[in-house]
């Protein structure tokens, strides 16, 4: 059901500093920041030959990333994102197995302009999983 790894997301307290580390120290192709108000984050994507790294930081006090950074002030891996061919079929199959879809269960449009869903980390070995329609 899942396809390729789309990205690994890292929550960071300082988006500019984190982007500079990837750009200036690691020599990565760092894209400009983009606000994602529907998700309460600002993101920067780092393009790698085989996948992407997503740096994310809170956008406003109600951001879901705020609690993560309160527990992990230096930041850390927040989630992994896998591609699926049909996000509705994937959601329905997962729910039929007892997996919990976060939020309303309806896909939202993610940072790449495609539908996304998040799956409860307790159902996936402590890892928050994002699914993105390919």
Residues annotated as catalytic (active site), given as ranges: 130
Do residues 34 and 15 touch, judged by C-beta distance below 8 A?
A: no
Do the Cβ atoms of 44 and 19 come closer than 8 Å? Answer: yes
Phi/psi for 33 (5° steps) reads -65, 150
Contact 4, 81 (CB under 8 A): no
Q: Where are the beta strands (DSSP E) in the chain?
A: 2-11, 29-30, 34-36, 41-47, 52-58, 76-84, 108-109, 115-119, 128-133
Which DSSP helix (H) or strand (E) runs through 65? Answer: helix 64-71
């Amino acid at each position: 059901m899942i396809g390729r790894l789309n990205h690994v997301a890292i929550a960071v307290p300082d988006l500019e500093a984190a982007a500079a580390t990837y750009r200036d120290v690691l020599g990565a192709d760092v894209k400009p920041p983009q606000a994602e108000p529907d998700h309460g984050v600002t993101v920067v994507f780092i393009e790698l030959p085989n996948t992407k790294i997503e740096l994310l930081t809170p956008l406003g006090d109600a951001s879901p990333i705020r609690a993560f950074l309160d527990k992990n002030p230096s930041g850390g891996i927040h989630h992994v994102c896998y591609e699926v061919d049909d996000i509705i079929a994937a959601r329905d199959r997962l729910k039929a197995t007892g997996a919990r879809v976060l939020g309303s269960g309806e896909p939202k449009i993610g940072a790449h302009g495609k539908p996304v869903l998040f799956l409860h980390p307790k159902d996936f070995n402590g890892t928050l999983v994002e699914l993105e329609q390919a």
